[in-house]
Amino acid sequence: MNSIYLPIFSNEEEKKKMKIEELSFDFAKRIVFLRKHLTTTSDNKEFVISKQILRSGTSIGANIAEAEHPQSTADYLNKVSIALKEANETKFWLLLLRDCNYISEKESESLLSDCYRIIKILVTIVGKIKSKIKN
């Protein structure tokens, strides 16, 4: 899927090397393009879900950015955990948009793949921090 409103910014090999900060920023840009597509270019324009996915999809990167300079380990864990929750919410909205035919299966594949990748990385980070706090 390589369309004007859902661009793929990096190939798969480059994505594997990306830091979570870069991946989440890249993802946020794609969500902004998705919102634009859903509200301006579609025959059946969608405003409610697109607003929700814009909020949650861009919040992932914003919380990761906030976590870059934490006041404490607990603060870092809090910000990364919020990013994880927002990623899970974004996954929900993407699945809903796909299943309600606002975006096609093909259009959703790349976004969902990136969303799952972000979730996996954040789960790993949260797990490592919690393990470190316990020790």
- The string of pLDDT tens digits covering residues 54-92 is 999 999 999 999 999 999 999 999 999 999 999 999 999
Scored b (16 or more CB within 10 A) or e, 99-123 reads eeebbeeebbebbbebbebbbebbe
DSSP 85: H
Provide the residue ranges of all domains of the chain, joining segments of one domain with +.
20-134
20-134 CATH choice from 3.60.10.10, 1.10.1040.10, 3.10.20.310, 1.20.1440.60: 1.20.1440.60
HSE-up of residue 62 (Cα within 13 Å, Cβ side): 11
What is the model's pTM? 0.87
Q: In this structure, what DSSP letter does residue 6 have?
A: S
- The string of pLDDT tens digits covering residues 33-62 is 999 999 997 678 999 999 999 999 999 999
